[in-house]
Amino acid sequence: MSPVADVFEIIRLSDQVWFLFATLAVVGGAGAAFSRNLVYSAFALLAALFGVAALFAWLSADYLAITQLIVYVGGILVLFLFAVMLTNRITEVEGSNPIVGYKPAAAVSLGVFGMLAYVAVSTDWKTLPVTSRFETTAPIGDMLLSTYLLPFEILSVVILGALVGAVVMARKEMKN
């Protein structure tokens, strides 16, 4: 048996799926970070958001995965694409996403990544024994209306104010 097939027999199927989703998220993130075309950047962000939603589902956070898809992919990403199309002339889409000062930025982000990865790998995390899947949607609803009622209400007012403010700022001024 070839070594490659051997490795695939040892890794559990769920872990193989995890690596697939993680690759999707990282490739999407890298595309969003390095693409010179803003439209490609936005679509790479779409791949990254799908990957993160799949990882939520992998962690049996089904409600969060669906929320991620509806709010991010259905809402925020469409908003980004609207903003791209409203602020760039179609002929200028090529090279519409120039970068500046990539050397210090690469140093900073590599430093941040090194520090976070070192902490993540070297710490002896006290993990729980693996639990079986359980329902999340109904308990989240209960928690939002009991333990986390105050932040939930504040957040409702915040997003209402934000959306009204966005409409006020984005509309064209009426000239008399």
Instruction: Find the binding residues for another protein in span 93-122 (CB under 8 A).
Output: 96-102, 104-106, 108-110, 112-113, 116-117, 119-121
CA quadruple 149, 136, 62, 133: dihedral sign: positive
Whole-angstrom distance, CA of residue 33 vs CA of residue 102: 11
Q: Which residue's CB is nearer to another protein, number 172 or number 176?
A: 172
Pick one of 20, 145, 149, 166: the residue that binds another protein (CB under 8 A): 166
Whole-angstrom distance, CA of residue 17 vs CA of residue 50: 14
Amino acid (one-letter) located at 48: A
Q: Does 47 sit near another protein (CB under 8 A)?
A: no
Q: Does 82 sit near another protein (CB under 8 A)?
A: yes
CB of 104 to another protein, least distance (A): 8
Closest residue by Cα to residue 57 from 47, 73, 46, 68: 68
Q: Does 157 sit near another protein (CB under 8 A)?
A: no
Q: Does 133 sit near another protein (CB under 8 A)?
A: no
